[in-house]
Amino acid sequence: RTETKRIKSFCMNAPLQELSFSTESLIQDQSNSMQLFDLRTYGDFVDHYAVKVKSISFDGLEHSTKGIKRPIVAVFDSGLTGCLLIRPFWDFVQKYYTDNTTDTRDFRSVSIAVKEVGGAVCNIKSSFEDDQ
């Protein structure tokens, strides 16, 4: 007989190539969690693990998301590595940096700031130099 369990949370440990499932929350302090953002209202047909981004930085130069009509979100996907930007936002980034004599092909890092439920800001960074 097969027993079906409702999974409440999961944890990936990429270096150890482990995936753990739990019927309980794995987050001890819920204030450190992030409010998920439903992309289906924008036409997505899959329920992604997405959160609203407060700001995004390329090589340390920060862009606030205030005043941007459509929200910028970060999608946490175990099968995705990298940073994907929609064309209108990438065009904006290229124009901004080109106007400031920076070649966007030379970007070495991207980081995002995401607000946690408790109000703190979590910074997530990826770069060619770091193994963070």
User: Residue 110: pLDDT band by 50, 70, 90 thresholds?
Assistant: confident
User: Residue 104: pLDDT band by 50, 70, 90 thresholds?
Assistant: low
Residue closest to 115 by CA, chosen among 19, 23, 8, 31: 31
pTM for the full predicted model: 0.71
Cα distance between residue 84 and residue 86, in whole Å:
7
Average pLDDT, the chain: 82
- 16 CB contacts (<8 Å, ≥6 apart)? none
User: Residue 103: pLDDT band by 50, 70, 90 thresholds?
Assistant: low
pLDDT in tens, 113-124: 999 999 999 998
Cα distance between residue 84 and residue 96, in whole Å:
18
pLDDT in tens, 47-89: 788 899 999 888 888 888 787 777 888 888 777 666 777 788 7
User: Mean pLDDT over residues 20-31, rounded?
Assistant: 88
